[in-house]
Amino acid sequence: MDDIVFIGNWIKDRVLGSGSFGTVVLWKHKSNEQKLAIKTCKWGDELTAKHRERWTKEVEMLQNCNNPNIVGTIELPPEFVTGLAPANPSKLPILCMEYCSGGDLRQVLNKADACCGLKEIQVRKILGDIGNAMKFLHNNKITHRDLKPENIVMHVEEGVGMEQTPKKVTYKIIDLGYAKEIDSNSICASFVGTLQYLAPELFYSKTYSNSVDFWSFGLLAFEIICGTRPFLPYKAPVEWMPFVKKKKHDDICVFETFHGDVSYSNEIFPENHISKPFKMLIEGWLRVALEWDPKLRGRDAPSKVTFDIPSEGKNNAASNVVIYSLLEETLTKRIIKVFSVTTISQIAYEIDDLTTISTLKTWISKDTNIPIEKQIIISPTSYTDVSDEELVVKYWNENSVVMLYVYNKNQMIDGNTAPNVPTAIQRCLEHHKALYNYKNSQNLYRNAFFFVIAQMDIYEALINGIFSRSESLKQESKQLIVKHNTVDKSVGQLQAKIEIVTKMVEQGKKHIENLKENSVGTNFLGGFSKIFKNVDDLLEKTQKLQNAWSQLSVRLQSAARRSNEGVSTELNNFVGKYNYQNIFSNAYKVFISHNKSEFYSGNREREKQCSDIVRVCYDVLKLRSKILQELQHQQFILKLKDLSIEFAKISDIITKATDNTERLNADLSNLVDEFTNCIWSTISVVVRDADNIADLPYSVVSFQKKDFKIGEPVSSHCIPVVNGEINTVKSLVTESLKLRQNYTSLCEKLNLQKQLLKDEKYDCPFLNETSK
């Protein structure tokens, strides 16, 4: 087949893979860039009948498996039937499949940055896709029997969105060569698959069920999370199985300690890239998938069952297959990921539709010791301060590494926060000249490279958190300006009212002073003094409010101007000076060099010092300490801290000013009412009780409108009174008042009599008769 390069309009691109029986070649069309992965059997007469049956069965199975997570087959172009005939001596069917450009999962796991597992986003995607494929196979009574990273490929959708937009990756199962159709009661007895991923019963039992795929799926899940297999990965199956057989149901990990002892754990390795809530959820699922007993594996049975082979079709209340439903439930859980800028730590929590920010703050307070009332939570998408009443689910995004940032109002960064250092790193720094065997050195180099990546991720989140705080302060300044303008309008309205009342009071004061000077009406003016004093006090308070408000306006303008300057330039300069790139490059070289040297050297029993990776670990801690120390004194950090405190103070002042303005407005309204009541009460008293018309203020003397002519003075209508006629005037006024009182009394009696006559209880129909 190596000699065949052109077939019709198709060009051979490269060989994608070659197994024990078949070879997969990528072919590309000349005109439309279509790509096909074509698998042919490279053997001829050497094949046994069993091998031929297996090959044919794989082709048939793939053609019948219509699932997005199982590699799809394509109808073979006619030209390949004849064109590949020389390269197909077996005459077996040629398998034409869709091309998955992302390679296989083993290639991803072999990368240095995956030495301690993949990111949570990738883990969730892989588990979801492979879980869907395996569920489909098992529902169709097909057992794969060879599930492993090498048999999982990545289909990358091309041309999706902008260049910066991550391309969608779909994980697909390939190679059903070992797959076998079984019914619910059948068993298999062939020894197939990759040894390290085989279920235990394939080694010690002649029979097995599709639960062997549960075991392989569990091993796969553990490896993509931790970067290594869970059960003594440095030993052959014949060596690790006796130890794993002794594990309890809750144990999902069996490993060798630094001193060579075998230890059991119910947790995955702490060196991973997944969140704590997801870790706890996936550990529960792994206990089900990695159950030693195949009769219980993948099931919800609380104790051993009596039947030999689990039956999918029978209704058994004690044991049901839950491995796929439990995985689906786990993957639907929503986890909010928060980065604490102050404590430089990543935290996460499982949430539901009703979880509020207030509840989230309670959880954060327990993990970071930041008091609830001191917390500021910022969304990195809107750069807004999130309120306590909002729902957390609003900010959940499964594709985001950090969904919310949390800060302490009084402290931007706590430089005394200690890093989370893996145990292997602590040991190598304490005993930097210690000797390491192959297993221990592998763990050390893996953990060290993981530590470098983890610190880089934390540093990136920290820088983004600082930038988010800067942007949030811009938003906060805009909100404060809007709030300030609203209160400023209220303060202006209060000032306008005060000016009107002040003029009224000033006129009142002058008027009363004139009356006092003439000794007129002084007996009725005692209540005004208190009102005038209260108005003066209110005027003084308003003036103080106005002065303080003017100063606040200047402060706010200054703070808003500083917040709009931003910190992007300063941040970029700082990151350009302090970053982990050199350390990462050095760690990568050291890690790759170590793997190659150990891989190609046949002597794995010898011990050696690991001074190169020890130096890397020391450099990481030294740089981290240097970064935190320098950050404390950076102008942009000090500016953000000052602005945060300044805006908090301004916000408090605006709130207090709002309260004071409302209170002064209320006090002013009360004083105006009191002043008005006092005026009219005084008038009423004077009119009712005055014995001498001369004692009445001129303002309460009433004249009819018709008595006046335009242009004439009011005084011309007044009757001059001489001293000799005072008694006569008094007598006339007294008689006039008596006559008015008698008249009023008679009117009231007459009205009463009329009302009585109209009442229905009187039978007086004659009143309604008309005169004839």
- d(CA 34, CA 10) in angstroms, rounded, equals 9
Place of tokens 């050497």: 46
Q: Which of 177, 183, 198, 222 is nearest to 294 (CA)?
A: 198
Please answer whether residues 168 and 160 qualify as being in contact, where contact means their C-beta atoms are separated by less than 8 angstroms. yes
* Radius of gyration of the chain, Cα coordinates, nearest whole angstrom: 46
Helix (H/G/I), strand (E/B), else coil: 375: strand
Largest Cα separation within the chain, whole Å, is 157
Distance from CA of residue 80 to its chain's centroid? 53
- d(CA 42, CA 22) in angstroms, rounded, equals 5
**Which bin fits 91, alpha (ψ -120 to 50), beta or left (φ > 0)?**
left
Please answer whether residues 549 and 657 qualify as being in contact, where contact means their C-beta atoms are separated by less than 8 angstroms. yes
404-408 and 334-340 strand pairing: parallel
Q: Where do the DSSP E strands lie in 267-422? A: 334-340, 345-351, 375-378, 404-408
Q: What are the backbone angles phi and psi of residue 136, rounded to the nearest 5°?
A: -60, -45
Tokens at residue 43, please?
A: 């053997």
- d(CA 210, CA 106) in angstroms, rounded, equals 23
- d(CA 180, CA 210) in angstroms, rounded, equals 9
Tokens at residue 644, please?
A: 């945060």
Q: What are the backbone angles phi and psi of residue 705, rounded to the nearest 5°?
A: -60, -35
Tokens at residue 507, please?
A: 């006129």
Distance from CA of residue 544 to its chain's centroid? 44
CB neighbours of residue 161 within 10 Å: 10
Please answer whether residues 154 and 264 qualify as being in contact, where contact means their C-beta atoms are separated by less than 8 angstroms. no
- d(CA 97, CA 155) in angstroms, rounded, equals 12
Please answer whether residues 607 and 437 qualify as being in contact, where contact means their C-beta atoms are separated by less than 8 angstroms. yes
3-state helix, strand, coil in the chain (%, to 5): 55, 10, 35
- d(CA 69, CA 154) in angstroms, rounded, equals 10
Please answer whether residues 347 and 405 qualify as being in contact, where contact means their C-beta atoms are separated by less than 8 angstroms. no
262-265 and 253-256 strand pairing: antiparallel
Angle at 548 between CA 669 and CA 671, to 5 degrees: 15
CA distances from 191 to 194, 206, 609, 625, 706 (A): 10, 9, 42, 55, 126
Check 129, 146, 175, 213 and give the catalytic one: 146
Q: What are the backbone angles phi and psi of residue 160, rounded to the nearest 5°?
A: -100, 110
Please answer whether residues 90 and 100 qualify as being in contact, where contact means their C-beta atoms are separated by less than 8 angstroms. no
Q: What are the backbone angles phi and psi of residue 115, rounded to the nearest 5°?
A: -65, -25
Q: Which of 291, 16, 734, 283 is nearest to 299 (CA)?
A: 291
| All residues at 6 or more sequence positions from 745 whose CB lies less than 8 Å from its CB, including other chains | none
Please answer whether residues 338 and 361 qualify as being in contact, where contact means their C-beta atoms are separated by less than 8 angstroms. no
Tokens at residue 468, please?
A: 């988010």
345-351 and 375-378 strand pairing: unpaired
Instruction: Please give the torsion angle defined by the CA atoms of residues 293, 295, 300 and 305, in that order, rounded to the nearest 10 degrees.
Output: -110
146 catalytically annotated: yes
3-state secondary structure 714-764: HHHHCCCCCHHHHHHHHHHHHHHHHHHHHHHHHHHHHHHHHHHHHCCCCCC
- Please say whether the dihedral angle defined by the alpha carbons of residues 337, 338, 339 and 345, taken in this order, is positive or negative: negative
The 8-class DSSP code of residue 347 comes to: E
Residues labelled catalytic = 146
